[in-house]
Amino acid sequence: MIKIGILKNKIETKLINYFLRNVPSYYYERSAKKIDISTDIPVFSSLAKSVISEGRTYLREDRLYTLFQCISRLPSNAVAIEIGVFRGGGSKFMAHLLQERGAGMLYVCDTFSGHADVDSSIDGEHRVNDNFSGVLVEDVKDYLKQYGNVRFIVGDIVKTSQQIQDKEINLIHLDMDVYPPTKFALEYFWPRIPVGGMIVGDDYGTSSCKGIKKAVDDFVAKTRDCFSIHLITGQVVIVKTGA
């Protein structure tokens, strides 16, 4: 019995050591005392679960919660843009929250035929008209048809951006994975973002999307009226300060 007990302790020790080495501490340290966003924030939790269950977004509760917090701070007549839509799950999440807050408008922007442009020196295995190319725009439109506050902008954002005529853009969600359109969107839309407005960049901390980090870092380095925060979700939030 003693030998069995010693063996059990050794196995448990090895498992604990493996866990500590391979799982980031923010997933377990004092986790019992943390707020569970999947259940403890009803206005967010039910919507996030519903969107995720429909299988139309790669965003999970942690990244959706970032968008939830940003939208919760917007005025009731806010204008938001999502560039990089995939099958529309993230767009539905944003449109629903904006609609609940009042007259918020959401522009849904995508080529719906894959990347229009990539920088092969930065963007790794991403290819033009390859990644995310199997999405039908009519399918996404049908999925979002219940939201009267959604407007579709179809095509390369470099060529279609002028279709967005609003003077102020309060929130932009950039989820394009590659450098050229991300760089363009940051520079083009920034002058129309008011003080306190935000840009959320997805995949900033993802090794397969190095172009996102370069585009954001270069932009922040040369832009005086902003600061950025890299979140443990892998996202980055850029806030306009006006200073």
5 pLDDT band, cuts 50/70/90, is low
Q: Is 188 exposed, middle or buried (0-12, 13-18, 19+ CB in 10 A)?
A: middle
The residue among 187 and 76 whose pLDDT is bigger is 187
Q: How far is CA 13 from CA 20, 134, 196, in A?
A: 11, 47, 49
pLDDT exceeding 90 applies to what percent of the chain?
72
Q: State pLDDT tens for residues 27-51.
A: 555 556 678 888 889 899 999 999 9
Residue 29, pLDDT score: 58
Residue 130, pLDDT score: 72
Tell me the C-alpha distance between 228 and 243, whole Å: 14
Q: Which secondary-structure segment (H or E) carries 225?
A: none
Residue 189 has pLDDT above 60, yes or no: yes
- At residue 28, φ and ψ (nearest 5 deg) are -135, -25
Average pLDDT of the chain is 89
Q: State pLDDT tens for residues 91-131.
A: 999 999 999 988 789 999 999 998 999 999 999 888 887 76
Sheet containing strand 79-83, edge to edge, reads 150-154, 105-110, 79-83, 171-174, 198-201, 236-240, 226-230
Residue 81 has pLDDT above 60, yes or no: yes
Tell me the C-alpha distance between 181 and 188, whole Å: 10
Q: How far is CA 15 from CA 2, 4, 5, 30, in A?
A: 20, 17, 15, 19
If you average pLDDT over residues 182-205, what whole number do you get?
Answer: 97
Residue 90 has pLDDT above 90, yes or no: yes
58 pLDDT band, cuts 50/70/90, is very high
Cβ–Cβ < 8 Å for 178, 157: no
* Residue carrying the six token digits 């359109």: 181
Q: State pLDDT tens for residues 134-187.
A: 789 999 999 999 999 999 999 999 999 999 999 999 999 999 999 999 999 999
Cβ–Cβ < 8 Å for 177, 87: no
Residue 24, pLDDT score: 58
pLDDT exceeding 70 applies to what percent of the chain?
87
If you average pLDDT over residues 198-212, what whole number do you get?
Answer: 96
